[in-house]
Structure 1
Amino acid sequence: MSSASFFSIIPARGGSKSLPRKNVLQLGGKPLLAYTIEASLGCPLIQRTIVSTEDPEIKSIALSYGAEVIDRPYFLATDEAQTHDAVDHVLGVLREQGTVPDHIVLLQPTSPLRNSAHLHESVLAYSDSDAKSLVSVTECEHHPYKSVTKDNGHLRPLFDAKSMEMRRQDLPEAYRISGAIYILPTETFLKEKNFIVDPAMAFPMSAEVSIDVDTALDLALVELVLQQR
């Protein structure tokens, strides 16, 4: 493991259409955001944990759980604002402070079941590879080769009719991006303005820990998982 620096950036704005105020909703006795902060702080390979937000309540929660906060301009916290713009803003502030990291670890607060062990393992795997980026993935619940689309009102295989009849185990492995972990060099991000850069390394995670909280049903499912633990 080299002496390269890794800073986590947690984008947590106050607004949310599908599940209002989801980043501050209570989950297992603490705010949703707290799980991601605790995971980052618990990983010794991550030197700083930074929350980007425009929201006073989120800022207060982040500080109370031990994270640093960089105030995000309101125009970067709208429904139309992109995550890469918020991260770019954080890096601009860090540059002014003279503390730009070698690598960034983007952690979405909507993945509360991703923990410190996952972060530790992913940073090690990324550091030992020649990949330009690492992205967490989980196996597709429904294989995309068995998907259909509509053509003039009629169903058509998204890929081909043969694939629709094949057994799942005979089809290629298929994964979806979970959104829990992204790692890449800071300079690469600043150049590409993207979090997935070829060659990208997949970091497989189970479906359970890959739950992304976007709806009330997702929140209830995570609550159930926590209760069972």
Structure 2
Amino acid sequence: MTVPTVLAVIPARGGSKGVPGKNLSPVAGIPLVARAVRACLGAPAVTDVVVSTDDPAIADAARAFGAEAVRRPAELSGDTASSESAVLHAMDAFEATHGRAADVVLLVQCTSPFITADEVDETARRITEGAADTAFTAAPSHGFLWRETSGNGAGATGVNHDKAHRPRRQDREPEYLETGAVYAMAAHGFRTHRHRFFGRTELVVTDPARVLEIDDPHDLARARALAPLLDTPVTPTAGDIDAVVLDFDGTQTDDRVHIDADGREFVSVHRGDGLGIAALRRAGVPLLILSSEQNPVVAARARKLRIPVLHGVDRKDLALKQWCDEQGVDPQRVLYAGNDVNDLPCFHLVGWPVAVGSAHDSVRAAARAVTDTPGGSGAIREIAAWLLGPELTIPEPRTS
């Protein structure tokens, strides 16, 4: 039996008036475009994933997360260009490159950050299994809709109900809200009709709690706040990481400072963190302590741990980028652990931003993973266990 070619197309323009750089904006440490790519790649029915974009940075992000990128021409990249036109162009480019036609095409919007692989898969299967010509994700609603009537003195009128009759929720059949997240179409019919709806259309019912479209900065803020509640927790493994960079205050300490009568500062660190760092060092993982504080305590701790340190740094993200360049490390394969808002620029640079359990709420929201352990209480030991295993089995050192 021939497996149908199911092509998922993710339109992702570089320009956005409501949220500049929207499609590269991270939610839980992952750019929106990459979240959509990840959902599509996780759907068994999907055979190919393409991001249609006019922006080289978006194309790079798409490729980094495993998708192909199709350069969209300027005439299809403006505010008035339809999503259908971008999908048709991506289909042409895909078929010219691969020499095979798509049987089913999906339109997947990266502005819906909580798309799941199951939703993508089910929407595609409605077409591949012959149940429908088109399908889309929709959320059930029992809401009463109203319309304001102007000019005739009638006031507001009910749209989906008689305002004189208010049935209970359990007595009403649900209506369905188009989520805007995933659409699937039989490819031949889509080429013929040049529209996402034709023939028999079916709904793929989704969880209303996961429905959010990002159109303005407030939507993006809500997505970041909801991500720790809606995303499946993930932690990196050794295969995901090429280097580990650690903040100091509040990450390797509990963020408290003890000062004696002579003004000397003392901090508390955790022996378990030292064990974890030693295990990572022996495993050959490049390590760095990066701190904005110019403090002899930081330097002394780095010497004790036998790892390099950059401290007294005003722009931690620039220092981190330079260090990555010098080490020949892709920032997308760097784990950066931090706890406070001055770590956020570094979070936006690396592929694995990690917040310690005691981190500021905004830092936790921006993290791709969060430790159970607070800073200064063994959080780095926990991170080392993610990478090396809970027993911190120390492999042979890496060889070049």
TM-score under structure 1 normalisation? 0.90
CA deviation map 1:172-203 (0-9, x unaligned) = 42111101111111111111111122310001
1:92 Cα deviation after fit: 1.9
CA deviation map 1:9-44 (0-9, x unaligned) = 000001112222210112111211111001111122
- Specify the alignment match of 1:117 in structure 2: 118
1:148 pairs with 2:119:
no
1:121 Cα deviation after fit: 2.8
| Stretch deviating more after TM superposition (114-123 or 152-161) | 152-161
Distance 1:92 1:43 in 2: 23
CA deviation map 1:42-95 (0-9, x unaligned) = 122211100000011111111111110010001111011111111111122233
- Aligned residues: CA RMSD: 2.1
Percentage identity across aligned positions?
Answer: 26
Distance 1:208 1:53 in 2: 29
Distance 1:111 1:177 in 2: 12
Ranked by relative contact order (alpha carbons within 8 Å, sequence separation 6 or more), the top structure is 1
TM-score under structure 2 normalisation? 0.53
Give the structure with higher Rg (CA). Answer: 2
SS of the aligned residue for 2:209 comes to: coil
1:33 pairs with 2:33:
yes
Distance 1:126 1:91 in 2: 17
| Stretch deviating more after TM superposition (16-25 or 158-167) | 158-167
5 Å-filtered alignment, 1:1-229, equals 3-97=3-97, 98-140=99-141, 142-144=143-145, 147-152=146-151, 154=153, 155-159=155-159, 162-163=162-163, 165-167=165-167, 169=169, 170-229=171-230
Q: Is 1:50–1:69's contact at 8 Å kept on the other side of the alignment?
A: yes
Evaluate the alpha carbon distance shift between residue 222 and residue 141 of structure 1 in structure 2; reply closer, same or farther with a 3 A threshold: farther
Distance 1:68 1:216 in 2: 28
1:120 Cα deviation after fit: 2.3
1:137 Cα deviation after fit: 0.5
SS of the aligned residue for 1:19 comes to: coil
Q: Is 1:183–1:195's contact at 8 Å kept on the other side of the alignment?
A: yes
Distance 2:143 2:158 in 1: 13
Q: Is 1:126–1:201's contact at 8 Å kept on the other side of the alignment?
A: no
Query: Which amino acid letter does the alignment assign opposite residue 109 of structure 1?
Result: C
Q: Is 2:123–2:183's contact at 8 Å kept on the other side of the alignment?
A: no
CA deviation map 1:92-130 (0-9, x unaligned) = 223333222100011001112112122223333443343
Q: Is 2:134–2:184's contact at 8 Å kept on the other side of the alignment?
A: yes
SS of the aligned residue for 2:182 comes to: strand
1:2 Cα deviation after fit: 6.3
1:141 Cα deviation after fit: 6.8
Query: Which amino acid letter does the alignment assign opposite residue 48 of structure 2?
Result: R
Distance 2:108 2:26 in 1: 19
Distance 1:160 1:200 in 2: 21
Q: How many equivalent pairs are there? A: 227
Query: Which amino acid letter does the alignment assign opposite residue 205 of structure 1?
Result: T
Distance 2:9 2:66 in 1: 14
| Stretch deviating more after TM superposition (211-220 or 187-196) | 211-220
Evaluate the alpha carbon distance shift between residue 131 and residue 157 of structure 1 in structure 2; reply closer, same or farther with a 3 A threshold: same
1:139 Cα deviation after fit: 2.2
Evaluate the alpha carbon distance shift between residue 99 and residue 216 of structure 1 in structure 2; reply closer, same or farther with a 3 A threshold: same
